Amino acid sequence: MEEMQSFHPNHLVRTKYENILENLDSGIILFDSVGVLAFVNVQMAKLLGVPRKSLIGSTLTQLLRHPQITRFKRKKIIRIYRETIFHRKRFHELLDECGRSWLITMTYGDQMEGDFLISVKDVSDFKQIEQTAYQNDKLAMLGKISASIAHEIRNPLTSIRGFIQLLRPHLMRLGKDEYARIILTEIDRANDIIYEFLNSSKPSAPQTTIIPVASLLKEVVLLTESEALMKNCEIILQHSEQIPSFISVDVKQIKQVILNLIKNALDAIDGKNDENNNGIIEIGLEQNEKQVNILISDNGAGMDQNTLNHLFNPFFTTKEGGTGLGLSVSYRIIKNHGGSIAVDSQVGIGTQFVITLPIIEMSNT
């Protein structure tokens, strides 16, 4: 009787802890000292896509041979095993087939009495926050560098321009006024290039105007239709006939962003080298009570996960001769408008950008 009383509380404690582990948002799996799977929680079973009952008692080899384990997951399990067991790494990060980030933690040693505890946690949101902070830091640094470079180059150019203007009467008497004109023109062109670079790396504060989104998109399509036709590509504008969405934006800046995305889509289609299918760029609108989504989709070459991870970084480009500033500037412009920009892409299938901007309620303006 005393044995039953002493066992009962321990059993309750064990059941309580198992219930906690089973309902964690992290995936938990435990292999005992001889390599047999002794415990797996609900979340881990969902991640593996296998019923829990069929996992308990399996070895790692049997787990890999399970008919419901996909080839992709099998490769990831082998990689985790190699990194954590062979290379003795307690922490390992990986990307799944949907592009989400996962942190794998391995716990073993004396404190585990020979057992191996593996936990898997979705850290995509944390990585996104980290990437956004890193992105903002780089853009701020880029703006400071650009301003410094522009200042250092503009000063000597101003001096050169002044001296050329002083020398121009002498050059005219020598019949060389054309030289002076060319020098002044080239100096002005250099100043324009510096001005554009400074504006692109550090966009000015938006000068906002309230406009309907649909009219902005129609104007952008008209500006790009001829180039699209030259590249055997069709631009399709799709939006439902609902209450018009009004946004308060710097029209010039937002137009710059959309034109840049369409230009990228044209390049992606041009680089696909698929003579059998015509290029298609679809521009659509979705809205709810608070925001509107501008969707720009193409059936171009698409991008791999590594490219997507660096896409909005300043100076990152996959184009020969590209500056790598277009998307980083677009990111900054949309952020300055209180919106967001996201991208989804698959190699060989295409890419979709989604620009989200807040809606203005006309009745309140």
Q: Between 3.30.565.10, 3.30.365.10, 3.30.450.20, 3.40.1180.10, what CATH number should domain 2-122 receive? A: 3.30.450.20
Please state, in angstroms and rounded to a whole number, the distance separating the CA atoms of residues 269 and 301: 6
Angle formed by the axes of helices 326-336 and 251-270, nearest 10°: 150
Mean pLDDT is highest, among 27-36, 87-96, 139-148, 201-210, for 27-36
Please state, in angstroms and rounded to a whole number, the distance separating the CA atoms of residues 193 and 149: 12
pLDDT in tens, 140-175: 676 677 677 777 787 888 888 888 888 888 888 888
CA 263 from chain center: how many Å? 18
Please state, in angstroms and rounded to a whole number, the distance separating the CA atoms of residues 140 and 359: 27
Q: Is the dihedral of CA 108, 113, 116, 118 positive or negative?
A: negative
Residue 321 has pLDDT above 70, yes or no: no
Higher pLDDT, 210 or 42: 210
Mean pLDDT of 133-138: 68
DSSP 202: S
Residue 7 has pLDDT above 70, yes or no: no
Please state, in angstroms and rounded to a whole number, the distance separating the CA atoms of residues 235 and 265: 10
Please state, in angstroms and rounded to a whole number, the distance separating the CA atoms of residues 205 and 333: 9
| The model scores a pTM over 0.75 | no
pLDDT above 70 covers a percentage of the chain that reads 79
Average confidence score pLDDT of the chain: 80
Domains in the chain: boundaries: 2-122, 127-201, 209-364
Write out the H or E segment, with its range, that includes residue 2: helix 2-22
Fold match between domain 2-122 and domain 209-364: no
Mean pLDDT is highest, among 41-50, 148-157, 181-190, 340-349, for 340-349
pLDDT above 90 covers a percentage of the chain that reads 11
- What CATH code would you report for 209-364? 3.30.565.10
Residue 1 has pLDDT above 60, yes or no: no
Token pair, residue 170, equals 């002498």
